Amino acid sequence: MELDKELIKQIKIKPLLDTLKLENISDEEYFSEKYSNYISNSRLGKLVKDGAKSFFEKFVSQEYNPSFFFGSLLHQQYLQPESFEVIKGVYTPTAKARLMALELYHPDGTTPTDDEIKAASYKIGYYKDKLTTNRIKELREKCNQFWRDKFLYEQNNKFKEGIEYLYIDEKSYNLLQECLNSINNNKDFQKLLHPEFLTEEPYSANEQTILLDVEITIPGYDSRIYKLKSKLDNFTIDKEENIITVNDLKTTSRLAKEFDPSFFHYQRELGMYSYLLKLCSEKFFGMNKPTIKGNFLVVSTIPDYNSLVYPMTPKLFKQGFDEFKFLLQTVAYLNIVKGYEFQ
């Protein structure tokens, strides 16, 4: 679709500060129906990758992707260890068979029926419409050991309230330990997540959500309200130095030193996050025009599992914010001028 870029440049975005919220929202709630019509960085990425029609469809979590799975796992274990615990020694199959194994597990120790397996295949997307008798047999063979081990583990162990216990495959477990060892021993990571101070300790938080309504106006049209959401890996508010910092944990299947944020438009992510955090720092912490910093905390998922800090430059910040702003303006243009509606 051809865009009227001159008109898009004239579109005004006004943050409605009364709606600004900084909250601790679980992943389950953040990705739930309640916030499904909010615009996130991931959803803006969908506009770039898949186009307008796909963007305006109801946004749901992306289907299984090994990189997304491991990235989420590492975030949970490094940034939210108080809420998530991986069970050692009780291992699932890999990939989508893991999701099937978890979905089909019976707490009473019985095995699922073929009909249950077929129903789960539609939910998970595991050989949907192609689940032959042989594939059902192969799935059982992959899952039987895990089902037995999980049943025995749950019979012999007590679980704490408020903790989500995770069952993963053995390969992912071993990789997780390598990556955690790397980043836990990285002093640069620790300094960013736990910054030093003289008199007033900076406020540092993990996995916090920022919500904001913005009013967008296009010349010649009535203005409309759009809702934004972002979940920040880590940020610090340093009132003593008047500095705010956004830190984003990233995994890479290449060497850490080869990390390039522009390849996946990661600078847009930090551009959006820093914009929202600046508003929060001013509203909730009484700061005035703080200096903005940002870093990618990069860990490689291949030997030697090196980790490093890749700082955002002023150029990357400008590129990221400009892209975020343009895409948000484009959403309004498509919605108001071209008639695309959120599903």
Domain residue ranges of the chain, discontinuous segments joined by +: 5-63+184-337, 92-167
Please state whether beta strands 12-23 and 84-86 pair in parallel, antiparallel, or not at all (unpaired).
unpaired
CA end-to-end distance (rounded Å), the chain: 20
Rounded to 5 degrees, what angle do the CA atoms 78, 244, 313 make?
90
Structural Rg of the chain based on CA atoms: 23
- Rounded to whole angstroms, the Cα distance separating 38 from 213 reads 9
Please state whether beta strands 164-166 and 84-86 pair in parallel, antiparallel, or not at all (unpaired).
parallel
- Yes or no: say if 16 and 212 are a contact pair by the CB < 8 Å rule: yes
Write out the chain's pLDDT in tens, 343 residues. Answer: 689 999 999 999 999 999 999 999 999 899 999 999 999 999 999 999 999 999 999 766 555 688 889 999 999 999 999 999 999 999 999 999 999 999 999 999 999 999 999 999 999 999 988 999 999 999 999 999 999 999 999 999 999 999 999 999 999 999 999 999 999 999 999 999 999 888 999 999 999 999 999 999 999 999 999 999 999 999 999 999 999 999 999 999 999 999 999 999 999 999 999 999 999 999 999 999 999 999 999 999 999 999 999 999 999 999 999 999 999 999 999 999 999 999 8
Nearest CA among 73, 250, 27 for reference residue 166: 73
Q: Which fold has domain 5-63+184-337?
A: Lambda Exonuclease; Chain A (3.90.320)
**Tokens 């071209």, residue?**
338
Give the distance, in angstroms, between the CA of residue 38 and the centroid of all CA atoms in the same chain: 14
